[in-house]
C-alpha cells in the first residue's frame, strides 16, 4: 500500500490494495458482509479484472481500478441509472486533464471515449432484496498509463495521447467528488437532469450504429436516450427500445 490516499468526501471510506483479483468481486463480498455505502475498493493492479458480459479487463499497474459500493434504496431499474451518474462524475474528473481541443464523450451505456477511442469503462453489478436493490457496485477502469492492444473497440490511454504522469489517486478523488454531487441531483431531482447532462457529452446520437444483443445484431440510427436510460434505435419506420447491449459504428466490421 504505497500510494498516497487521495482526499475523498467524508461519506466515503477507502480500502487500498497493491494487487487484487477484482475490485468489484472484493466489494460485492464486503457488501454481503454489511459494508457501508460509500466504501471504495482501489487497487494498483488486478489479476482478474473484467468488463461487461465477463470480458477480460487487462489491469497492469499505472491505470485506475476502483469500485464504489452504493446502497440506493430503490428499484433495480432505477438503480441502473447510477451508471450514467458515474459516467458524468468520471468525465468531470478527466476533462480538466485534457487539452481543450480533445473530445471526451460518453458512449452508451457505460464507456468514455477520447477522440473516438475507449479511455474508460464502467461496470455496474447489483444484488436485490425483494423489490429493491440491496446494493450496487460501480466498477471504474481508466487507461491512464497503458491501454490494451488488439481489442474489438479501439482503446487509448492518457499517456498514449501525450498526457503522462496522471496519478490514479487524482482521478479517483475527482470521481468521488463528482459522484457525490451528481448522485444528489439524481436522488432529489430524478433522472431528467442526469439524462440531459449525459446527452450533452454523448457519442453517436443521430448516427447509424450496430447494436449487439445476446443472439442478435441490429442496425439502425441512434435516435436518443429515453427517460429511463434505454437507447432508442430507429429501424426503418419503427423505434426499438434497448435496455442493454453493445454499440458500434455501422461501418465497423
- Whole-angstrom CA distances from 26 to 7, 21, 68, 238 are 22, 8, 11, 43
* Confidence (pLDDT) at 1: 44
DSSP 8-state code for residue 7: P
Greatest CA span in the chain, whole angstroms? 58
Write out residues in the chain with pLDDT < 70, as ranges.
1-3, 49-58, 251-253
* Confidence (pLDDT) at 42: 97
d(CA 35, CA 124): 17
* Confidence (pLDDT) at 100: 85
d(CA 137, CA 28): 7
pLDDT in tens, 99-153: 888 899 999 998 999 999 999 999 999 998 888 899 999 999 999 999 888 787 8
- Rounded to two decimals, what is the model's pTM? 0.92
**What residue ranges of the chain are covered by domains with CATH 2.30.30?**
208-249
- The set of residues, in sequence order, having a beta carbon less than 8 Å from that of 209 and lying 6+ positions away, is 219, 220, 221, 222, 233, 247, 248, 249, 250
On whether the CB atoms of residues 122 and 83 are closer than 8 A, the answer is: yes
**What residue ranges of the chain are covered by domains with CATH 3.30.930.10?**
13-200
H-state helical runs in 64-140: 76-79, 82-94
- What backbone phi and psi angles, to 5 degrees, belong to 20? -145, 160
Q: Which of 83, 48, 82, 42 is nearest to 63 (CA)?
A: 42
* Confidence (pLDDT) at 56: 61
Q: Which of 47, 29, 27, 46 is nearest to 38 (CA)?
A: 27
Order of strands across the sheet with 13-20?
13-20, 39-46, 64-70, 132-142, 117-129, 111-114, 104-107
Span 208-249 CATH architecture: Roll (2.30)
CATH topology of domain 13-200: BirA Bifunctional Protein; domain 2 (3.30.930)
- The set of residues, in sequence order, having a beta carbon less than 8 Å from that of 92 and lying 6+ positions away, is 174, 178
* Confidence (pLDDT) at 148: 85
Amino acid at each position: 500500500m504505497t500510494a498516497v490516499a487521495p482526499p475523498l468526501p467524508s461519506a466515503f471510506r477507502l480500502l487500498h490494495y497493491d494487487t487484487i483479483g477484482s475490485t468489484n468481486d472484493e466489494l460485492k463480498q464486503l457488501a454481503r458482509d454489511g459494508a457501508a455505502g460509500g466504501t471504495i475498493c482501489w487497487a494498483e493492479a488486478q489479476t482478474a479484472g473484467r468488463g461487461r458480459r465477463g470480458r477480460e479487463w487487462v489491469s497492469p499497474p499505472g491505470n485506475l481500478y476502483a469500485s464504489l459500493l452504493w446502497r440506493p434504496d430503490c428499484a433495480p431499474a432505477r438503480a441502473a441509472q447510477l451508471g450514467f451518474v458515474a459516467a458524468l462524475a468520471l468525465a468531470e474528473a478527466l476533462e480538466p486533464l485534457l487539452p481543450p481541443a480533445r473530445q471526451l464523450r460518453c458512449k452508451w451505456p457505460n464507456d468514455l471515449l477520447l477522440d473516438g477511442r475507449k479511455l474508460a469503462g464502467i461496470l455496474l453489478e447489483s444484488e436485490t432484496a425483494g423489490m429493491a436493490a440491496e446494493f450496487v457496485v460501480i466498477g471504474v477502469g481508466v487507461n491512464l498509463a497503458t491501454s490494451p492492444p488488439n481489442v474489438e473497440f479501439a482503446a487509448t490511454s492518457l499517456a498514449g495521447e501525450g498526457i503522462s504522469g496522471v496519478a490514479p489517486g487524482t482521478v479517483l478523488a475527482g470521481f468521488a467528488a463528482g459522484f457525490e454531487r451528481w448522485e444528489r441531483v439524481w436522488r432529489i431531482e430524478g433522472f431528467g437532469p442526469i439524462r440531459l447532462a449525459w446527452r450533452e457529452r454523448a457519442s453517436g446520437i443521430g448516427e447509424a450504429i450496430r447494436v449487439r444483443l445476446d443472439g442478435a445484431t441490429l442496425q439502425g440510427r441512434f435516435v436518443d436516450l429515453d427517460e429511463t436510460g434505454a437507447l432508442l434505435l430507429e429501424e426503418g419506420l419503427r423505434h426499438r427500445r434497448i435496455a442493454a447491449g453493445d454499440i458500434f459504428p455501422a461501418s465497423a466490421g
